[in-house]
A and B are shown apart, each in its own frame.
Chain A
Amino acid sequence: GQQVMQIPQYQHVQEGEDFTTYCNSSTTLSNIQWYKQRPGGHPVFLIQLVKSGEVKKQKRLTFQFGEAKKNSSLHITATQTTDVGTYFCAGNYGNKLVFGAGTILRVKS
């Protein structure tokens, strides 16, 4: 079935260090979306990537979509304590949005 694998499950970084989470799908995606969920909160949309090889930036966040539209990554440069939360990718298979398991990010100050 349609499945999105996301790694790592958990990452604990020192403030100022970089962070990356990766998503992989076994089949080609229509697009991929990224969400952030703060502790105790609900997922909030960050960005959508549609084109093969697309790269988008939001301040310290860089999002990439693979050439084959089967994988994606989110990279945070110089993490801050405000970055803590769970980052989910969600693969769009055209008729269904399937979420990855999420990567929990903790930042030590």
Chain B
Amino acid sequence: GAGVSQSPSNKVTEKGKDVELRCDPISGHTALYWYRQSLGQGLEFLIYFQGNSAPDKSGLPSDRFSAERTGGSVSTLTIQRTQQEDSAVYLCASSLTDYSGNTIYFGEGSWLTVV
């Protein structure tokens, strides 16, 4: 597609429920990233995919968070048993290969509110 597409754009969920956030990167981009941004805060790195593999999962905050990428394209970030502190904007980004020398393009984000 023309840009990085994320869905849903907004999600309100009850504490304890599971949520899935989807990212469709720019066509042809092999690198995909997930970041989290809490209200008024900076960008917190979650995970990075190169193709379907995740060489760096160090940012996932707990074992309730997982992510996968299939077909070298779409990625899903899953949060199990959501907590109120999970409320944030989850931003997906993609780039042609990897960080070095490549522009990273962000999606509009998925706004998650846990009530």
Contacts and interface: CB of A to CB of B under 8 A. Distances in A.
B103 A101 contact: no
Given A30-B100, A31-B100, A97-B99, A44 B33 contact: no
Contacts, number: 52
A101 B99 contact: no
Contact of B45 (A41, A42, A43, A96): A96
B10 to A, nearest CB: 12
Nearest to A1: B58
B106 interface: yes
A48 B95 CA distance: 14
Q: Size class of A's contact patch?
A: 20 to 34
B108 A42 contact: yes
B65 interface: no
A92 B100 contact: yes
Contacts of A97: 33, 45, 99, 104
B107 to A, nearest CB: 7
A98 interface: yes
Nearest to A6: B42
Interface of B: 33, 35, 41-45, 48, 55-56, 58, 91, 99-101, 103-109
